[in-house]
Amino acid sequence: MTGKKEVKILLDKSEPANGNAPVGKLWDKLSKTRRRLKDRLDIVLSGKKAVDSSLLEELEEILFTSDIGVEITEQLIERLQRRVDRKSLDNPEQLKTILKEEMISFLEAGQELSAVNEIPDKARNIVEVIMFVGVNGVGKTTTIAKVAHYFQAQGQKVMLVAADTFRAAAIEQLQIWGDRVGAEVISQKRGADPAAVVFDAISAAKARKMDKLFIDTAGRLHTKLNLMEELKKVQRVANQQLSGAPHQVTLVLDATTGQNAIAQAQVFAQSLGVTDIILTKLDGTAKGGVVIAISQRLHIPISFICTGEGLEDFEIFNPREFVEAIFD
Ligand SMILES: Nc1nc2c(ncn2[C@@H]2O[C@H](COP(=O)(O)OP(=O)(O)OP(=O)(O)O)[C@@H](O)[C@H]2O)c(=O)[nH]1
Ligand SMILES: [Mg+2]
């Protein structure tokens, strides 16, 4: 452990998120990102006899335009250049393998900042309150259903609370997902104070001995500042009702927004103390490289990645599997 605040990620990574998913599903879903990275890299590498500065320049160009981020790109190129200088890299075929290993080590370093694999303490006997935050449309509500479904399959009792009382039909949308996964949804009428809804929901979750309570929050209010203030109030009130709650603040980011996702994450992290990140919509974008930028820039572990609209379209984030899916 580093000196960083200890964080417990939503999941025990030793268990597959979707046990009956076909082998290579992630590979299928990440095809657009793979085309942008691997296919271009293969073209550049084909027919090359040596790793020289022009090859590294071409590689740099590919990385720059793959949403991996300027800093990571520069660091990767520097590391490769050092290997070339030391004569430990001269064969273009080796280049891809080394590049992959370097990326995996970047991602793993980001995950190690916290206790990613910590298993929920079943003996603790209190409801674990997890607040899902993010701007509108990133996939918060859908992701809550996926995570609820996952934990229920492991025998956990999950309750949902509709704290997006602002957007029309947000409560109904959560209710539909709740019905679909068989989780009780606590809600009040539209326009109710989200903090008050959460206060009551924690009380209900305690009374019914729930293992987890997932808070679905709004993505948009009148202004962004109001949203942050409202979310902070939810945090404060949750903590009044149950000391230590919310135990996690999970930020949901839409991968299709590329570098914008990083800017969003910085705002949320500063205001709310985000404990982990879930990346959604990796299926529809060539910007999957942003996962690497997020990991490096934010130092917040990534718990899940989502690859579609269905309940099974998500995976526990595994750096090696991810890098292999975008490079092999
Ligand atoms: N392709 C794809 N679509 C997704 C994914 N996750 C969510 N969506 C879709 O994105 C849209 C928005 O999802 P929501 O779950 O409503 O997003 P939200 O963040 O709760 O939105 P607000 O409540 O408006 O803030 C829906 O059409 C989802 O089906 C994903 O991983 N891949
Ligand atoms: Mg929503």
Residue nearest to atom 21 of ligand 1 (CA): 137
- What residue spans define the domains of the chain? 122-274
Q: Which residues hold their Cβ within 5 A of ligand 2, which is an ion?
A: 140-141
* The pLDDT value given to residue 111: 84
Reported pTM:
0.90
> Residue 22: is the preceding peptide bond cis (ω within 30°)?
no
Q: What is the pLDDT of residues 49-95, one digit of tens each?
A: 999 999 999 999 999 999 999 999 999 999 999 999 999 888 998 99
What average pLDDT does range 103-130 have in this prediction? 72
CA distance 133 to 252: 6
Residue nearest to atom 1 of ligand 1 (CA): 308
**Number of other CB atoms surrounding residue 82 within 10 Å:** 11
How much distance in Å is there from the Cα of 218 to the middle of ligand 2? Answer: 6
14 has a pLDDT exceeding 90: no
Instruction: Report, as an integer, the average pLDDT of 181-200.
Output: 97
Exposed / middle / buried, residue 31 (Cβ in 10 Å: 0-12, 13-18, 19+): middle
**Token pair recorded at residue 252:** 């949901």
Give the number of residues written for the chain.
Answer: 328
Per the structure block, which two tokens stand in for 322?
């991810």
Query: Which CA distances in Å does 27 have to 32, 210, 282?
Result: 10, 36, 11
Identify which ligand lies nearest to the alpha carbon of 138: 1
Q: Which residues line ligand 1 (CB under 6 A)?
A: 134, 136-142, 164, 167, 170, 219, 280-281, 283-284, 306-309, 313
pLDDT, tens only, 283-301: 989 999 999 999 888 989 9
Look at ligand 1, atom 31, and give the residue with the nearest C-alpha. Answer: 281
Q: What is the CATH number of domain 122-274?
A: 3.40.50.300
Residue 123 has pLDDT above 50, yes or no: yes
pLDDT in tens, 218-265: 998 766 668 999 999 999 999 999 999 999 999 999 999 998 999 999
Q: Which two tokens stand for residue 249?
A: 């603040």
Of the chain, the percentage scoring pLDDT greater than 70 comes to 88
- Per-residue pLDDT of 37-50, as tens digits, reads 999 999 999 989 99
Residues 311-315, mean pLDDT to the nearest whole number: 93
119 CA to centre of ligand 2 in angstroms: 27
Give the integer Cα–Cα distance in Å for 292 and 110.
9
Q: Ligand 1 centroid to 49 CA: how many Å?
A: 46
* Distance from the alpha carbon of residue 325 to the mean position of ligand 1, in angstroms: 23
Instruction: Give the pLDDT confidence score for residue 115 in this predicted structure.
Output: 42
Say what the pLDDT of residue 15 is: 43
| C-alpha distance from residue 11 to each of 84, 158, 248 (Å) | 40, 14, 12
pLDDT band at 274 (very low <50, low <70, confident <90, very high): very high
pLDDT of residue 149: 94
The best mutation among 227, 291, 309 to test binding of ligand 1, ranked by most ligand atoms within 8 Å of the C-beta, falls on 309
Residue 130: closest CA among 297, 252, 18: 252
From 142, 167, 214, mutation site for ligand 1 pocket: most ligand atoms within 8 A of C-beta:
142
Residue 302 scores a pLDDT above 60:
yes
> Which two three-digit tokens encode residue 189?
């009428």
Q: Which atom of ligand 1 is nearest to the CA of 307?
A: 31
- Taking the CA of residue 142 as reference, the ligand 1 atom at the shortest distance is 15
Q: Inform me whether the pLDDT recorded for 25 exceeds 80.
A: yes
How high is the mean pLDDT of the chain?
A: 88
Tell whether the model's pLDDT for residue 195 goes beyond 70. Answer: yes
DSSP states along 237-280: HHHHHSTT-SSEEEEEEEGGGTHHHHHHHHHHHHHH---EEEEE
| Tokens matching residue 7 | 């964080």
| Tokens at 52, concatenated | 């020289």
